[in-house]
């Protein structure tokens, strides 16, 4: 077993393992360092995959419980088996983590189980999970792909039982009577929806005045309205100052974000979902001469190069959206750059999806960003209420919105709230990747009746040619 490699990747998550596989495909010898007992990182183990499994299961439960009457389907005696639902989620995760392990073996990537720390720009000491230390060297580069960790609030200790992060919220052994979610972002909204569908009272507390501040405001207003209709309560411009554990419940202290009188809320579970922070603890980056930015991220230049030759950084530890597919893009482009290929990336064409019901998907600029930049733009929207397939399916919530340059018609942004938005957004992503226009979308023949027709219709509206509204 060699201790010398071309590439060493620290981290086996959605940035690390694709980077390792791609490096191997390009003819390099590769080691991947991961201390978890399973590969796949946060996304696969305690993030996007298990949460989507539960979101799907709970959406089925909600639909069967209360949403089939209009279709002429009556079902009695619907019962929840939470243990089985959680077990199915675990089976999905287990199958996929084993799949990643197989892919590393298939691509001759050595998985070294342990924690890494730099001894030199080309050398790592690995504290092995099984005990002992192993020293590895890399001739072409070491990639830091250690991901991110839960952002914490001062004075609130997460125990993953009553005060939980996303990890604990995915494995509760009973449905909470009252779940308080601290944070109105992606994680908080998705997991809030999971437990609301199963019967919990859910209160979302957000420090800012809106949910998901990065979202196009028109879309955010629609989402907030629909979530309220589903029974979620919201407290905006509110600060959580403490959580006190009592015998049977939790006492949450809150006050206005701008200051004011304190009040208390009772709950039996609190979910802390105020974001994530880069994880670089224990790597010894400071000893290598790498200084983190004010947000704890590793600064990189073109090609994901750090300030130290031979050390690269990818994924959640660098600037950019903390999305699994973005981190995979980083990893692949990084090793392709090391191999002499063009390493550039365009984060403007990276889509984002919130898997609530309905889903919200976006790519490119929001209206607010275009206005702030002084860009002259046109917009076109089309409601699913006017989409034939949405009417057939009985789900007409939401709309499709396109934004284009007023002079060139080049597509600048797309925002969808509605059924299967996460799938439909990719037509807009592809158009933007190729510098397409809304006219290109309008001239593309879409099958009828389908949900993606809403993109064509929104493009026609933007061009002043709308026919169905």
Query: In whole numbers, what is the pLDDT of the chain averaged over residues?
Result: 96
Rounded mean pLDDT, 224-236:
97
pLDDT band at 364 (very low <50, low <70, confident <90, very high): very high
pLDDT band at 69 (very low <50, low <70, confident <90, very high): confident
Catalytic site includes residue 448: yes
What does the alpha-carbon distance between residue 58 and residue 215 come to, in Å, rounded to a whole number? 25
- Is 119 annotated as belonging to a binding site? no
- What is the tens place of the pLDDT at every residue in 166-184? 999 999 999 999 999 999 9
DSSP single-letter state for residue 212: S
- Is 110 annotated as belonging to a binding site? no
Residue 263 in contact with residue 255, Cβ under 8 Å? yes
Looking at 71, 426, 448, 468, which residue is catalytic?
448
Give yes or no for residue 312 having a pLDDT over 80: yes
pLDDT of residue 1: 60
- Is 190 annotated as belonging to a binding site? yes
CB-based contacts of 8, cutoff 8 Å, min separation 6: 30, 31, 32, 33, 116, 124, 136, 138, 141, 142, 143
pLDDT of residue 75: 86
Cβ neighbours around 365 below 10 Å, total: 22
- Is 148 annotated as belonging to a binding site? yes
Rounded mean pLDDT, 204-226:
97
What are the Cα distances from residue 120, in Å, to 30, 114, 137, 138, 141? 18, 18, 9, 10, 11
- First-to-last C-alpha distance (Å) of the chain: 67
pLDDT of residue 334: 97
- Is 91 annotated as belonging to a binding site? no
What does the alpha-carbon distance between residue 433 and residue 456 come to, in Å, rounded to a whole number? 18
- What is the tens place of the pLDDT at every residue in 388-416? 999 999 999 999 999 999 999 999 999 99
* Highest-confidence segment of 11-15, 74-78, 339-343: 11-15
- What is the tens place of the pLDDT at every residue in 196-209? 999 999 999 999 99
The fraction of the chain above a pLDDT of 90, given in percent, is: 95
DSSP single-letter state for residue 321: -
Specify burial of residue 15 (Cβ count, 10 A radius: 0-12, 13-18, 19+). Answer: buried
Any bridge partners for residue 352, and if so which? 362
What does the alpha-carbon distance between residue 80 and residue 205 come to, in Å, rounded to a whole number? 28
Rounded mean pLDDT, 299-308:
96
Domains and CATH numbers, the chain: 4-149+277-347 (3.50.50.60), 163-274 (3.50.50.60), 358-462 (3.30.390.30)
């Amino acid at each position: 077993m060699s201790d010398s490699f071309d590439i060493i990747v620290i981290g086996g998550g959605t940035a690390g393992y694709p980077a390792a596989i791609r490096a191997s495909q390009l003819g390099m010898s590769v080691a991947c360092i991961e201390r978890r007992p399973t590969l796949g990182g946060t996304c696969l183990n305690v993030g996007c995959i298990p949460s989507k499994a539960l979101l799907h299961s709970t959406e089925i439960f909600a639909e069967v419980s209360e949403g089939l009457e209009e279709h002429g389907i009556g079902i009695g005696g619907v019962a929840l088996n939470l243990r089985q639902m959680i077990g199915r989620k675990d089976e999905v995760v287990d199958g996929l983590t084993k799949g990643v392990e197989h892919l590393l073996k298939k691509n001759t990537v050595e998985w070294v189980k342990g924690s890494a720390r730099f001894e030199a720009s080309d050398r790592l000491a690995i504290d092995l999970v099984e005990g002992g230390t192993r020293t590895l060297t890399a001739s072409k580069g070491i990639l830091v792909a250690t991901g991110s960790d839960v952002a914490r609030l001062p004075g609130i200790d997460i125990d993953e039982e009553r005060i939980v992060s996303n990890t604990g919220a995915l494995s509760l052994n009973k449905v909470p009577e009252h779940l308080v979610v601290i944070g109105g972002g992606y994680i908080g909204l998705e997991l809030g929806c999971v437990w609301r569908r199963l019967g919990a009272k859910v209160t979302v507390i957000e420090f800012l005045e809106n949910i998901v501040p990065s979202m196009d405001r028109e879309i955010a207003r629609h989402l907030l309205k629909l979530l309220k209709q589903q029974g979620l309560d919201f407290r905006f411009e509110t600060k959580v100052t403490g959580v006190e554990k009592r015998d049977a419940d939790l006492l949450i202290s809150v006050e206005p974000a701008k200051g004011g009188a304190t009040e208390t809320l009772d709950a039996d579970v609190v979910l802390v979902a105020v974001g994530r922070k880069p994880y670089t603890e224990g790597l010894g980056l400071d000893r290598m001469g790498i200084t983190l930015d004010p947000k704890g991220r590793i600064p990189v230049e073109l090609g994901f190069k750090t300030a130290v030759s031979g050390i690269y950084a990818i994924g959640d530890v660098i600037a950019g959206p903390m999305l699994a597919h973005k981190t995979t893009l980083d990893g692949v482009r990084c090793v392709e750059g090391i191999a002499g290929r063009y390493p550039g990336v365009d984060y403007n064409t990276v889509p984002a999806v919130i898997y609530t019901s309905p889903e919200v998907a976006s790519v490119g600029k929001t209206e607010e960003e275009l206005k702030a930049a002084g860009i002259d733009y046109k917009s076109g929207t089309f409601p699913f209420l006017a989409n034939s397939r949405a009417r057939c399916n009985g789900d007409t919530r939401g709309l499709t919105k396109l934004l284009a340059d007023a002079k060139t018609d080049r597509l600048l942004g797309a925002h969808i709230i509605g059924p299967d938005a996460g799938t439909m957004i990719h037509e807009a992503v592809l158009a933007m990747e190729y510098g397409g226009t809304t006219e290109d979308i309008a001239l593309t023949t879409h099958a009828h009746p389908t949900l993606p027709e809403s993109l064509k219709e929104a493009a026609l509206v933007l061009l002043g040619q709308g026919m169905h509204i």
